[in-house]
Amino acid sequence: MVAGPARHHITVCVNFGGHEMDISSIAFANSLILGLSIASIFFVAALGLTIIYGTAGVINMAHGEFIMLGAYTVYAMQTFLGVPYFLCIPAAFIVVGAIGFAVEKSLIRYLYERPLDTLLATWGVSLILIQGTRLIFGSEPKFVQIPSFLSSNVEVGGLSLGAFRIFIILMALALAASVWFIFYRSDFGIKIRAVTQNREMAASFGINSGQVYSFTFALGAGLAGVAGALFGALNIVLPTMGIEYVVEAFLTVITGGGALMGSAIASLAIGEWQSIFALVTNSTFAQFMIFVLIVVFLRFRPEGLISASGKRR
Amino acid sequence: MKFSRRNFLKNSAMVGALAAPSIWIPQSRGAWGATLTEGEPIKVGVLFSLTGSLAVPEEDSTLVMQYAIDEINAAGGIAGSQIEPVIIDAKSDFGVYTEKARELILRDKVISIFGCYTSASRKAILPTVMDRDNLLFYPTCYEGAECVQNIVCTGPLANQHSKDLIPFMVENYGKRVFFVGSNYVWPKESNKNAKIWLENAGGELLGEEYIPLGDSEFGPVLGKIREAQPDFIFSTVVGASDIAFHRQFKQAGFSAETMPIASLTTGEIETKAMGAEYGAGHYTSAPYFQALDNPTNQKFVEGFLSSPYGKNGVTHYNMAETYNSAYVFKAAMEKAIADHGFNEVTSMRLRDACAGIKLSADISPEGETWIDEDNFNTWLVPKIGHCQSDGSFKIVKEAAEHVAPDPFSIYPDAGTCRANGLVAPDGTVRTDVI
């Protein structure tokens, strides 16, 4: 990259441990764009968990493993069936959504009255999924292939971002819009919101609340599958890969408060701060600062940014 | 006696003082040691992570260790006894490493432990190994700056590892370098060494970044690299992060042809895991590559890959070093048995017997190596591999002669590591310097 002749420098003086540094405005703008990319990763990771937690109040410890299954679905379809990457993404949604549906029907639905037990039960599910994947696919790492045009860098006037990261941002926007549409513009969404507000009352109006929960859980799992299809390309594909993302997802959901908008704002804040901290200091310190800020935030606002519903669980 | 708080404190302190020595301090060093019985199997611990972020490449170390032990056992074992491995999954958790090392020594009574990949795990278990006078075979690269009397290392030290790589890269690609590493002790110490080689080669360090161990978000680091525009990148990123780094590097539009990554860790396991197209064009320094052209290596590669342990399909520097550690163990056991008798071999006698053990080119796939008589690290020949489009490495440079391991090469004031401890310039000797 050749810097343009008129390369502006704003002098952002940052004083960390006695080191002063000048950061060019372009580098700062780039880090804001990168922050958007990190935010989109956090958001996509948290989306499925947000829906399941926000609607059914189930703290789904197996969320990371649903992400992992999404990545493995793409791997398996590419390797054994030769399906192109873009078709693998909806396939991951369907396959993992179906697995989520089965888990809900066979296990979770017996536990809605006992939220603490869902914690333990879903953790058990996560262990079963990790070991099951290891038995089927082996423990050696796999990888996901992406079309070569996504392995390029898009540059506009000194600002740049990888094409694949742009793709993830677009996917995050598309998923957010679809979920918003389902929740606020469809009949199913009305049912979900009714059941979320008061399950018994909704049931008395003829809504099959059990079915609503099943499909919501399946939707959340399917979205985790899409997340896995995207992350598999960025990262290593291993049976244990979900553990890393489940932390990101929980951070986002807890900070956001369980609502869709809350998760969107929380992931944006986390992504931007992480990117800016990493620019002025380094990645390790950035991660440390993010955790500190979240702890301080939750100390003063334990319910998160936007609470999912009036009813506290 | 009136029971008061003051009396209670005084009495309990007394009881504590009396009880402590008899319970907690072993009567004599070595009382914990494994005892061998002629004709019985020789137990060794195999302590690597089979799961978690370090499973690449530690799982393969476990597999190759089993292969080597099978090979030795099939050839008659050691002095008529079979080696019996106790295989442990440390789950990429440093707490588990410590706990399991203690269990291996106290419960399983192993004569030695083969294990650890990261320096963090080695440093986690060393206090336990030293307390119990056991012996750790550490079969990978590390930073040095240690002089412990309970460790034998078959991989390269920092002073052997990047010595050729940095000048080679500066000569072929340019002087401007960016360092990226995982955030723990080995990358930091390796980079201290690399800076010296870089200065000697007339290079310029543009930036130095560390990311948390196991983390996979390289966006900010790649942003800084784009800003700095180095001629090449020197990487000490390990494990799953290394795969994420190479993938995101190419996805961010960087090319190995104009800005290659010169790594100390990216071997055949990693290039297979990331997809060969992401590894192609980058460089790695290691004493062993699968493509090494010698009969011993051909036998090793064919034998291992066709064995039940070769399911992952590649051999790797870490695996060759692990394989060699099994044969150093065998040779040293035979020497110790000849010197002391089978039933009298202890972990420390085994360690003393390791001094100067030479693995000939018919045993060691990487060519002849031997254990240093003073610091118990390995004399070896570092090589530079260029990753090809199929993920294998082409050897582009090989050191002219064996390079001596020197754990304190960048800390000359600390002294010299000898068999009995770290000898300071003023003649004082300190043992167990971690």
Q: What is the pLDDT of residues A152-184, one digit of tens each?
A: 888 888 888 889 999 999 999 999 999 999 999
Would residue B16 count as lying in a domain?
no
Distance from CA of A84 to the nearest CA of B (A): 17
Q: Is A211 on the interface with B (CB under 8 A)?
A: no
For residue B144, count CB atoms less than 10 angstroms from its CB and return exposed for 0-12, middle for 13-18, buried for 19 or more: buried
A240/B contact by beta carbon, under 8 A: yes
* Residue B79, Cβ density class (10 Å: 0-12 exposed, 13-18 middle, ≥19 buried): middle
A231 in a structural domain: yes
B312 part of contact set with chain A, CB < 8 Å: yes
CB atoms within 10 A of CB B358: 13
In a domain, A175, yes or no: yes
Asked if residue B110 and residue B69 are part of one domain, the reply reads: yes
Alpha-carbon distance of A82 to B410, in angstroms, equals 52
Of all residues in chain A, the percent with pLDDT exceeding 90 is 63
Would you place residue B162 in the very low, low, confident or very high pLDDT band (cuts 50, 70, 90)? confident
pLDDT digits (tens, 9 = 90+) for B43-96: 999 999 988 778 878 889 999 999 999 999 999 999 889 999 999 999 889 999
* B209: nearest CA partner in chain A: A282
CB-based contact B229 A1, cutoff 8 Å: yes
Averaged pLDDT for residues B258-277: 91
Q: Supply the pLDDT for residue B85.
A: 94
Look up the domain containing A272 and give its range.
32-150+162-300
Q: Which of B59, B214, B219 sits opposite A244 (nearest CB)?
A: B214
Closest partner residue to B251 (CB to CB) among A151, A239, A275 is A151
pLDDT for position B6: 57
Q: Which residues does chain A have within 8 Å of residue B217's beta carbon, measured at their own beta carbons? A: 38, 41, 274, 283
Band of the pLDDT at A216, cuts 50, 70, 90? very high
pLDDT in tens, B276-304: 999 999 999 999 999 999 999 999 999 99
Q: Is B209 on the interface with A (CB under 8 A)?
A: yes
Q: Is residue A22 part of a domain?
A: no
Does B255 contact A at CB distance below 8 Å? no
Check if B388 contacts A (Cβ < 8 Å).
Answer: no
Q: How sure is the predictor about A312, in pLDDT bands with cuts at 50, 70 and 90?
A: very low
Residue B213: per-residue pLDDT: 83
Residue with tokens 């740049």: A160
In a domain, A307, yes or no: no
Contacts of B377 (CB under 8 A, 6+ apart): B144, B153, B157, B371, B405, B407
Does a structural domain hold residue B396? no
Q: Provide the domain limits for residue B119.
A: 42-156+293-381+405-430
Model confidence at B232: pLDDT above 60: yes
Domain end marker among B286, B307, B331: B286
Calpha distance A38→A164 (Å, rounded) = 12
A131 interfacial to chain B (CB closer than 8 Å):
no
Same domain, B165 and B73: no
Domain membership of residue B186 (yes or no) is: yes
Provide CB contacts within 8 A for A82, sequence distance 6+: none
Sole residue written with tokens 């060494």: B193
* B380 Cβ neighbours under 8 A, 6+ residues apart: B156, B160, B287, B366, B369, B402, B403
* Confidence at residue A23, expressed as pLDDT on a 0 to 100 scale: 65
In angstroms, the separation between the Cα of residue A30 and the nearest Cα of chain B is 7
Predicted pLDDT of residue B25 = 44
The CATH code of the domain that includes B130 is 3.40.50.2300
What mean pLDDT, rounded, does chain A reach? 87
Task: With a cut of 60, say whether residue B2 has pLDDT above it.
Answer: no
- Going by DSSP bridges, is the β-strand pair B136-138/B151-153 parallel, antiparallel, or unpaired? parallel
State the complex-level ipTM: 0.82
Q: Looking at this protein, which amino acid is placed at residue B253?
A: G
Return the residue in B87, B182, B251, B271 with the most chain A beta carbons within 10 A, the one to mutate for interface testing.
Answer: B251
> Does some domain include residue B397?
no
CB of B308 within 8 Å of a chain A CB? The answer is: no
CB nearest to A283's CB, from B52, B215, B253: B215
Shortest CB distance from A34 goes to which of B210, B219, B229? Answer: B219
Q: What is the CATH number of the domain that holds A202?
A: 1.10.3470
Contacts of A38 in chain B (CB under 8 A): 217, 219
At B9-48, the pLDDT tens digits run: 555 555 444 444 444 444 444 445 567 888 889 999 999 9
- Quick one: B264 and B318 in the same domain? no
Residue appearing with tokens 């009949």? A187
- Assess whether B149 and B200 both reside in one domain: no
Asked if residue A73 belongs to a domain, the reply is: yes
Q: Any chain A CB within 8 A of the CB of B379? A: no
Q: Are residues B331 and B239 in the same domain?
A: no
* Contact flag A150-B251 (C-beta cutoff 8 Å): yes
Tokens of A158: 């000194």
- A138 and B50 in contact by Cβ < 8 A? no
Residue with tokens 């940052």: A14
Q: Is residue B120 part of a domain?
A: yes
Clarify whether residues B244 and B118 are in a common domain: no
Instruction: Say if B276 falls within a structural domain.
Output: yes
**Does the beta carbon of B207 lie under 8 angstroms from any beta carbon of chain A?**
no
Angstroms from A49 CA to nearest CA on chain B: 21
What total of structural domains would you count in chain B? 2
**Out of B216, B219, B253, whose CB is closest to A275?**
B219
The pLDDT of residue A270 is above 90: yes
Contact residues, chain A, for B51 at CB < 8 Å = 134, 139, 239-240
Count of domains forming chain A: 1
Q: End-to-end CA distance of chain B: give it in Å, rounded.
A: 49
Nearest by CB: A138 against B221, B243, B311: B311
Would the CB atoms of A141 and B251 count as touching at under 8 Å?
no
- The verdict on B216 touching A (C-beta cutoff 8 Å) is yes
Based on the fold, state whether residues B174 and B276 are members of the same structural domain: yes
Task: Give the model confidence (pLDDT) of A64-97 as tens digits.
Answer: 999 999 999 999 999 999 999 999 999 999 999 9
**Minimum distance, in Å, between the CA of residue A247 and any CA atom of chain B:** 12
CA distance A62 to chain B (A): 16
Q: How far apart are CA B102 and CA B318, in angstroms?
A: 24
Nearest by CB: A284 against B183, B252, B275: B183
**Does residue B210 belong to any structural domain of this protein?**
yes
Query: Residue A11: inside a domain, yes or no?
Result: no
CB contact, 8 Å: B294 with chain A? Answer: no
Predicted pLDDT at B20: 45
- State the average pLDDT over residues B311-337: 92
CB nearest A162 (choices: B55, B221, B253): B253
CB distance B56–A141 less than 8 Å? yes
Question: Is residue A3 predicted with pLDDT exceeding 90?
Answer: no
Q: Is residue A305 part of a domain?
A: no
A37 has a chain B CB within 8 A of its CB: yes
Report the C-alpha gap between B262 and B177 in whole angstroms: 10
pLDDT tens digits, one per residue of B99-155:
999 999 999 999 999 999 888 899 999 999 998 999 999 999 888 888 898 999 999
Last residue of a domain, one of B286, B303, B333: B286
Percentage with pLDDT > 90 across chain B = 60
Q: Confidence class of residue A12 from pLDDT cuts 50, 70 and 90? A: very low
Q: A186-214 as b/e, with b when 16 or more CB fall inside 10 Å?
A: eeeeebbebbbeebeebeeeebebeebbb
Percentage of chain B exceeding pLDDT 70:
92
Final residue before a domain boundary, out of B227, B259, B286: B286
Q: Is residue A58 part of a domain?
A: yes
Query: Is B391 part of any domain?
Result: no
Residues of A in contact with B250 (CB under 8 A): 151
Same domain assignment for residues B425 and B298: yes
The C-alpha atoms of residue A179 and residue A223 are separated, in whole angstroms, by 10
- Quote the distance between the C-alpha of residue A242 and its chain's center: 11
B214 lies within 8 A of chain A by CB: yes
Q: Tell me the per-residue pLDDT of B182-211, one tens digit each, with 9 for 90 and over.
A: 998 889 989 998 999 999 999 999 999 999
How many angstroms separate the CA of residue A281 from the nearest CA in chain B? Answer: 9
Q: What pLDDT score was predicted for residue B12? A: 53
CA distance B95 to chain A (A): 18
Please indicate, yes or no, whether residues B297 and B336 belong to a single structural domain of this protein: yes
Instruction: Report residue B7's pLDDT band, with 50, 70 and 90 as the boundaries.
Output: low
Nearest CA in chain A to B216: A235
CB atoms within 10 A of CB B169: 27
One domain, residues B106 and B184: no
Q: Is residue B82 located within the same domain as residue B130?
A: yes
3 state DSSP class of B423: strand
Dihedral of CA atoms A232, A234, A240, A246 in degrees, nearest 10, equals -100
Q: How much is the pLDDT for A22?
A: 57
3-state secondary structure at position A297? helix
| Chain A residues touching B316 at Cβ < 8 A | none
- Rounded to an integer, the average pLDDT of B363-378 is 92
Mutation to test the A interface, candidates B185, B217, B270, most A Cβ within 10 Å: B217
The residue count for chain B: 434
Question: What was the pLDDT predicted at B214?
Answer: 81
Q: Tell whether B184 and B262 lie within a shared domain.
A: yes
